[in-house]
Chain A
């Protein structure tokens, strides 16, 4: 890392979170924080509780125990739309796009919380409602340009290949102008080239808009390269937390997750 990156105060802190479903414990006393402006990775073996953690953060799961502090406000749990309107946006592990809608409309939904005109004006579709619609359309077009998906603007997302769908999903999250962006395996199912693009998008969002990013990813190359700090979960417990380099050399992490370091990519990135 050539440039020294600067981060602000913690935008998000999770404290002592425990979550279980019937007999299954998904999270157990997990605490960590995310600093403003950083790229924070969450890694861990399958079923470790990473996705559950994101679900807790934006209010879909309600933890049995623990506190979440977001932008200085502490609560036991969030309401999903409350989280959304306070600037938390996310993408999903199993793509959760609105299949029947076009790319453009999908991304426009991301701006829903920002649109205010009431039903009556919308039914008439003149004056203020139209104005508002156009303003937001313009912002969305920025996002579309940014993600280079102009060509599929009007395509129903159900028809898009997997990778494109992931991109549209990112677009939808970006359209909300989030302060905290939660990404659940954004690069799964992409080839290298596309991963590079995706990393670029993530880093650009982070740079240009100062958006804080929390990201789950299994590709160690990506995680090690682009994240500032990494939390490692295993069986619902936090087993490590630190910079990529610290984590990589942590014996627990190697045993639980990375396996014997033999991955070419990992080796390669170590050489870097």
Chain B
């Protein structure tokens, strides 16, 4: 699965994107976050506060409960500050 990161999430993880093999037990965006947090301290810190994490599946906003079945690209980023 391709995962992309933006803004301070990208900076804290020091990567713009990565390809990961998600275990079959990971079914929702929330599961992805929990799984990422087990991958190292930088992930645990970056995803520490769920309130400031937004997600998208295939470039569409989704909530933490959203199923990732059918996803080709998952994105994580802070609340938007454009405009």
- State yes or no: do A and B come from one complex: no
Q: Which A residues form the contact surface with B (CB < 8 A)?
A: none
